[in-house]
Amino acid sequence: MASKRDYYEVLGVGKDATADQIKSAYRKLAMKYHPDRNPGDKAAEEKFKEAAEAYDVLHDQEKRARYDQFGHQAFEGGAGGYGAGGMDMNDIFAAFGDLFGGRGGGGGFGGFGDFFGGGRAARPDPNAPMDGDDMSFQLEIDFEEALFGSERTIDLTVPGQCPECNGSGAAAGSKRVTCATCHGRGIVMGGGGFLRIQQTCPTCGGQGSTLEKPCRNCRGRGQVATPQHISLKIPAGIDNGSRLRVAGKGAGGIRGGANGDLYVLLRVNPSEIFERDGLDLGVDVPVSPIIAALGGKVDVPTPDGVAQLTIPAGTANGRIFRLRGKGVANLRGGTPGDLSARIVIEVPANLDRKQREALEAFQKLAKDSTFPQAQSLSNKLKIFYSHRDKLRK
């Protein structure tokens, strides 16, 4: 066994320290190395135990006198000594409950909240107000709703405070009783041997007490499914994947706690006309090959209505014309997006006899240069094949 450090050294006090100095030095160390503040830190746990052991001896006048005279030997083997494992965590919490300001049950782990100066309590108080959780809800909306805004009502069920027991979970006239599993400590020690891990008590969930008789309406949970009817304003310009926050419409708070918020995740259905990319829209505009060749006016769908676009003679298939400000309204009031109109030349179909004759007449009039792409390809092919023929000779 490693040699033990001097107890005065452990607490960082002189041999002539007063009881108050010893107590205050121990409080500081216990706070610093408390397992609740250093979860999973074995070194901190050892320091915590070491300090507890030193304090246990030095704050007791009789033990301190023996220690001053005989050192660590004073406690070896005999009663009141510590085995190889030192003090166990349960011993520490049980022994120093009142120093830590423990309430009820002879003190214990729960008091650390006070000991730490009003910080979080390690054991949840079953009577304290509890804030409701935030909830999320997915809402599918039409493309048009996202573009122009809309109003929706949402009906959903959220956990709300049980009206029968006002969130206490206890049946009328019944009270809470000390938890039989953890004896009110809210924690239990798990693991075995030297490695002991502190865990939240599974029976009481760390509250240290259980219900004598649970409320029938909520089965002791303090909350019941509560229908919620919400009016939601969807702002114009909102995009797929946006999240709207509806304050206070999440799970209800308990015993005066604040309600959680509701987050509505928007799924925008795609449009059959427009493609959307942020604030910009894209639209395919079918154009007659005659208009594309001659130039002229084409109708372009925009969110605000059909706009007329004049395209120049010889407009190629796939050419894009950008219509400034004809995209999606800007949610933040800035400039709206643009609309990209893509020319898609449409092959004439369902021809009648006269139309067919007109096209045949046109075809007779066509020259090589009437179709420059075909002409270019034909020229390249001539070179290609002549090259081939030379190689094959």
3-state secondary structure of 88: coil
Termini Cα distance of the chain:
99
By the rule CB under 5 A, 201 interacts with Zn ion: yes
Binding positions for Zn ion, 36-55, rule CB under 5 A: none
User: Total residues at the site for Zn ion (CB under 5 A)?
Assistant: 12
Choose between 123 and 326: whose C-beta lies nearer to Zn ion.
123
Question: What is the dihedral angle through the alpha carbons of 60, 64, 66, 71, rounded to the nearest 10 degrees?
Answer: 140
- Residue from 11, 130, 204, 266 touching Zn ion (CB under 5 A): that is 204
Least separation in angstroms between CB 109 and Zn ion: 11
Q: Where does this chain touch Zn ion (CB under 5 A) — which range of 10-18, 47-55, 210-218, 320-328?
A: 210-218
Choose between 183 and 319: whose C-beta lies nearer to Zn ion.
183
Choose between 65 and 177: whose C-beta lies nearer to Zn ion.
177
Choose between 182 and 300: whose C-beta lies nearer to Zn ion.
182
Which pair of tokens denotes residue 359? 């096209």
Which pair of tokens denotes residue 27? 């409080």
Least separation in angstroms between CB 37 and Zn ion: 22
Cα angle 326-332-337, degrees, rounded to a multiple of 5: 20
By the rule CB under 5 A, 10 interacts with Zn ion: no
Q: Where does this chain touch Zn ion (CB under 5 A) — which range of 11-19, 195-203, 225-233, 361-369?
A: 195-203
x/- string (CB under 5 A) for Zn ion, residues 155-184?
Answer: -------x-xx-------------x-xx--
Question: What is the dihedral angle through the alpha carbons of 258, 259, 260, 265, rounded to the nearest 10 degrees?
Answer: -150
Least separation in angstroms between CB 149 and Zn ion: 41
Between 61-70 and 42-58, two packed helices, what is the crossing angle to 10 degrees? 100
Least separation in angstroms between CB 172 and Zn ion: 10
Least separation in angstroms between CB 225 and Zn ion: 12
User: Residue 181 and residue 186: Cα distance in Å, rounded?
Assistant: 9
Q: Quick check: 231 and 153 in contact, CB under 8 A?
A: yes
Which pair of tokens denotes residue 382? 């001539």
By the rule CB under 5 A, 187 interacts with Zn ion: no
Least separation in angstroms between CB 125 and Zn ion: 14
Burial code (b: 16+ CB inside 10 Å, e: under 16) for 260-291 equals bbbbbebebeebeebebeebbbbbebebeeeb
Least separation in angstroms between CB 76 and Zn ion: 36
Which residues, in sequence order, are CB contacts of 29 under 8 Å at separation 6+? 10, 11, 12, 47, 48, 51
In terms of Cα–Cα distance, which of 115, 78, 110 is closest to 94?
110
User: Residue 203 and residue 222: Cα distance in Å, rounded?
Assistant: 16
x/- string (CB under 5 A) for Zn ion, residues 308-327?
Answer: --------------------
Q: Where does this chain touch Zn ion (CB under 5 A) — which range of 204-212, 229-237, 356-364, 372-380?
A: 204-212
User: Residue 346 and residue 104: Cα distance in Å, rounded?
Assistant: 85
Choose between 21 and 181: whose C-beta lies nearer to Zn ion.
181
Q: Quick check: 223 and 161 in contact, CB under 8 A?
A: yes
Beta-carbon neighbour count of residue 237 at 10 Å?
A: 20
Least separation in angstroms between CB 164 and Zn ion: 4
By the rule CB under 5 A, 60 interacts with Zn ion: no
Q: Where does this chain touch Zn ion (CB under 5 A) — which range of 66-74, 216-224, 228-236, 380-388?
A: 216-224
By the rule CB under 5 A, 147 interacts with Zn ion: no
By the rule CB under 5 A, 218 interacts with Zn ion: yes
By the rule CB under 5 A, 122 interacts with Zn ion: no
Which H or E run includes 90?
Answer: helix 89-95
- The footprint of Zn ion (CB under 5 A) covers 162, 164-165, 179, 181-182, 201, 203-204, 215, 217-218
